[in-house]
Amino acid sequence: MECQWKPDEQGLQQILQLLKESQSPDTSTQRSVQQKLEQLNQYPDFNNYLIFVLTKLKTEDEATRSLSGLILKNNVKAHYQNFPNGVSDFIKNECLQNIGDSSPLIRATVGILITTIASKGELQNWPELLPKLCLQLDSEDYNTCEGAFGALQKICEDSAEILDSDMLDRPLNVMIPKFLQFFKHSSPKIRSHAIACVNQFIISRTQALMLHIDPFIENLFALAGDEEPEVRKNVCRALVMLLEVRLDRLLPHMHNIIEYMLQRTQNQDENVALEACEFWLTLAEQPVCKEVLCGHLPKLTPVLVNGMKYSEIDIILLKGDVEEDEAIPDNEQDIRPRFHRSRTVAQQHEGGDSIEEDDDLDDDETISDWNLRKCSAAALDVLANVFRDDLLLHILPLLKELLFHPEWLIKESGILVLGAIAEGCMQGMIPYLPELIPHLVQCLSDKKALVRSITCWTLSRYTHWVVSQPPDIYLKPLMTELLKRILDSNKRVQEAACSAFATLEEEACTELVPYLAYILDTLVFAFGKYQHKNLLILYDAIGTLADSVGHHLNKPEYIQMLMPPLIQKWNQLKDEDKDLFHLLECLSSVATALQSGFLPYCEPVYQRCVNLVQKTLAQTVTQPEFYEASDKDFMIVALDLLSGLAEGLGGNIEQLVARSNILTLMYQCMQDKMPEVRQSSFALLGDLTKACFRHVKPCIANLMPILGTNLNPELISVCNNATWAIGEISIQMGSEMQPYVPMVLQQLVEIINRPNTPKTLLENTAITIGRLGYVCPQEVAPMLQQFIRPWCTSLRNIRDNEEKDSAFRGICTMITVNPGGVVQMIFEKCSSVSWESLQDDYGCMLHTQNQVGDENWRHFSDQFPLPLKERLAAFYGVLGTLTILFCNNIGCYGCQSQCYPALVLP
């Protein structure tokens, strides 16, 4: 072993000089140092110099020594497999000898270095590491014990899985009991390390910990009186995780644990309070929550409400004293990337769409991701969903005080409370809303920007109720004030107002049509006013408006207001500008809504989308190693806008398709590795099939096998869009679909019978099976018995439309071909929908007696009560059967005058 290695003095001085220069604030000096360091990496013993400076040069300042260790850590990350054995052995040896350096910074750096080496798969090749570190825990020297524990904590964090594997002979069997001994150590830092190490193994229910679960919990309880914030934080974290994985062990002590967590949630140290506050979020997910917590609600509610006030540090970070900042350009780092949600084709329901958006509590997202205010609000939100109106008993007295408080900080927290309980306590809040909503609308004009912004968010949580009331009383005043706030002089308020208005648009839909000119006037004015970040949110608000009012937007005066600013932005943005995502999404919605009104703008938009897809595909082929999945977002959003154009323009898109290579590009996208690309390409295929099938038809032989291989319900959205596209193709192909039925039918039948399949996928599957049966009944009808029952249930709530019409006709035709397939169903009530839109010519065809077969029908109809027989006489045959199958009223067979209980086979 080359532990006797000695540095060349001149080389050592050169490296020290570089390390000092690299701490210079001058960027050109830093760049020059970086280049020299990269050149030095070519010398095998360069890393020996780095470890030497870190561990041996104790006369040097700590910053230089630590920097040397961090550069070495980066080299280990990038090149460790190329280190000669002598070098790696020397580094390992030095690390273990110096884990107890007198400097906390150097100890921590050595610990990071050890962990980095271990994470390079070196735990197997460094068998003495864990035993040596565990041995050093027993050292009389505090620094050695603390340094070893720091390294072990990092190893437990980074390599938890491998520590519990046979590969290392399960060292946790020794380590867990060892860690538990240190819970009572005299040093708070050591106690904290010990708990943190064990905590890494709770969520994974590691066997070595589960064997010692009782002593672990006892030791945690023994630390209840510990004053050290870091220890308290780790105790709280442990209890939160144990609540999730070993509730059985905590239940006998739950009263005391809740009391402890109540105290800790009010801790002066916000980090401790935040860890404790997580407890309420996790407890709300447990079935025992209501039972164990109901007695503590009087104490817990004010604690959570108090935690929802902005802290001083929050206000500083949020620049809470800055009221007018609209002219200050955004800091680009503050603009978070937003990922595009690929187009999913869904059916329309009586109660709206089944795809729901997350309505989270992220009312101040530019501040640190998670803090006590947000955690308290989220906890109140989930507890409101558990306790419902019972929570109001404790909240309402507090709210009265908060909402009308003269101090803005307290009033603001009250408005946040009101928003947090909106979902869970909505029923109980209804009597108070006629007074509260006007009060909140007034608060939209508050002189404090933070009050105005939280009011926007809270009002967005009550828009469902607002829209259900007479529009002049609530909707109109709310909309008017929100539009004013969209033009606020504070950027945070602009953002909150835009988001709230988008929520209002989704709820109000066509209720907004009378006010469209006023709304568009405001949104268009905001284009010239907004800085970068809010401009992106404005695109979303315009896209949502288009989705909500649909074809009502297609009026010359509205188009003249809206399109010029959008097209101006479109022309300004370069192809590689990420803002294009938002604008493409927005235009996709606008194109779908405007339909023929979008024609004057469609050609350049269409061509650019095709170019974006082509460019992305070319780059993924030529530079696959540099091409990240996120870069494909350009292609995905472009495909979705092409779908929007096809849906909005219908047959008018035909010339554009004819003059482009979109079908070749789509064929490539359908085979992409990334599911989202395939998902969007299948949506486009379905829309092009509807809009201009004559261009799609020559490609069907190539496209259908790909659709068949993507009927995998593990990838729900991909499967959903592929299923929908198959249904659209079936209708266009007619009987020519016959050769392709075997490619898809078996998978579709499996999907419709699969438990827990999402509603949207079930509906699209049912419609596609019905459509396949409509055009190829001889091929599909033999499987009727395998899918008829889930088929009926799947289409319970879909509005009457063309897709449902063709699917239903398909079922009728299949029953004609294979009446035995519905024998069971005749006697079992299936709560699907009554069908009123069958046209007369088809109805006549259904009346024919021989469609089910006289003998079959007579055998079953003999069991019917006489009034039902008379009623069905007019619908003898298949239509009689179908009346039974699809009547919407439970226990009723569509007999109008009387209802009969469901018939059951003997």
Q: Give 832-849 pLDDT, tens digit per residue.
A: 333 343 333 233 233 323
How many domains in the chain? 2
Would you state the pLDDT for residue 714?
A: 92
Average pLDDT over residues 681-706: 97
Would you state the pLDDT for residue 890?
A: 29
pLDDT tens-digit map of 283-342: 999 999 999 999 999 999 999 999 999 988 888 888 777 788 887 887 776 666 555 566
The whole-angstrom separation of Cα 604 and Cα 601 is: 7
Boundary-marking domain end, from 415, 430, 445: 430
**Residues 650 and 595: beta-carbon distance below 8 Å:** yes
Average pLDDT over residues 114-141: 88
Average pLDDT over residues 264-280: 96
Q: pLDDT over 70 for what percent of the chain?
A: 85
Would you state the pLDDT for residue 625?
A: 57
Q: pLDDT over 90 for what percent of the chain?
A: 63
Q: Does residue 473 fall inside a structural domain?
A: no
Average pLDDT over residues 54-79: 88
The whole-angstrom separation of Cα 516 and Cα 633 is: 32
Reduce the secondary structure of 780-799 to three states and give it as a string. HHHHHHHHHHHHHHHCCCEC
The whole-angstrom separation of Cα 695 and Cα 693 is: 5
The whole-angstrom separation of Cα 537 and Cα 95 is: 51
**Residues 881 and 815: beta-carbon distance below 8 Å:** yes
Reduce the secondary structure of 361-372 to three states and give it as a string. CCCCCCCCCCCH
Q: Does residue 610 fall inside a structural domain?
A: no
* Cross-strand pairs, 349: 798
Would you state the pLDDT for residue 857?
A: 52
> Residue 157 has which token pair?
């964090």
Higher pLDDT, 745 or 24: 745
**Would the pLDDT of 358 be above 70?**
no
**Would the pLDDT of 188 be above 90?**
yes
Would you state the pLDDT for residue 607?
A: 95
pLDDT tens-digit map of 506-519: 999 999 999 999 99
Would you state the pLDDT for residue 659?
A: 95
**Would the pLDDT of 590 be above 80?**
yes
pLDDT tens-digit map of 624-681: 655 555 578 889 989 999 999 999 999 999 999 999 999 999 999 999 999 999 999 9
**Residues 421 and 457: beta-carbon distance below 8 Å:** no
> Residue 85 has which token pair?
């054995």
Q: Does residue 80 fall inside a structural domain?
A: no
**Residues 353 and 548: beta-carbon distance below 8 Å:** no
**Residues 600 and 567: beta-carbon distance below 8 Å:** no
pTM, two decimals, is 0.78
**Residues 868 and 892: beta-carbon distance below 8 Å:** no
Would you state the pLDDT for residue 187?
A: 95
**Would the pLDDT of 851 be above 80?**
no
Question: What is the residue type of 467?
Answer: V
Q: Between vectors from CA 489 to CA 488 and to CA 491, what angle results, nearest 5°?
A: 85
Reduce the secondary structure of 338-349 to three states and give it as a string. CCCCCCCCCCCE
Average pLDDT over residues 156-182: 88
The whole-angstrom separation of Cα 811 and Cα 824 is: 15
**Would the pLDDT of 362 be above 50?**
no
**Would the pLDDT of 583 be above 70?**
yes
Tell me the average pLDDT of the chain. 85
Would you state the pLDDT for residue 609?
A: 94
Boundary-marking domain end, from 430, 452, 480: 430
Question: What is the residue type of 784?
Answer: L
**Residues 148 and 99: beta-carbon distance below 8 Å:** yes
Q: Does residue 241 fall inside a structural domain?
A: no
Q: Does residue 307 fall inside a structural domain?
A: yes
The whole-angstrom separation of Cα 359 and Cα 367 is: 18
Top-confidence range, 9-18, 103-112, 118-127, 364-373: 103-112
CA distances (Å), 724 to each of 95, 678, 684, 707, 879, in order? Answer: 60, 13, 11, 10, 27
> Residue 518 has which token pair?
């006023």
Would you state the pLDDT for residue 162?
A: 84
Q: Does residue 67 fall inside a structural domain?
A: no
Taking Cα atoms as reference points, which of 421, 218, 385, 433 lies closest to residue 308? 421
What is the full DSSP assignment across 686-716? HHHHHH-HHHHGGGHHHHHHHHHHT--TTSH
Boundary-marking domain end, from 382, 407, 430: 430
Higher pLDDT, 320 or 397: 397
Would you state the pLDDT for residue 903?
A: 27
The whole-angstrom separation of Cα 656 and Cα 608 is: 12
pLDDT tens-digit map of 198-240: 999 999 999 999 999 999 999 999 999 999 999 999 999 999 9
Q: Does residue 7 fall inside a structural domain?
A: no
Q: Between vectors from CA 365 to CA 570 and to CA 267, what angle results, nearest 5°?
A: 175
Coil, strand, or helix at residue 425?
Answer: coil
The whole-angstrom separation of Cα 333 and Cα 315 is: 19
* Residue 349, phi then psi, degrees to nearest 5: -115, 165
**Would the pLDDT of 894 be above 50?**
no
425 lies in which domain range? 261-311+371-430
Q: Does residue 606 fall inside a structural domain?
A: no
pLDDT tens-digit map of 454-508: 999 999 999 999 999 999 999 999 999 999 999 999 999 999 999 999 999 999 9
Would you state the pLDDT for residue 824?
A: 56
Chain CA centroid to CA 180, Å: 38
Reduce the secondary structure of 593-608 to three states and give it as a string. HHHHHHHHHHHHHHHH
Would you state the pLDDT for residue 356?
A: 33
The whole-angstrom separation of Cα 810 and Cα 787 is: 13
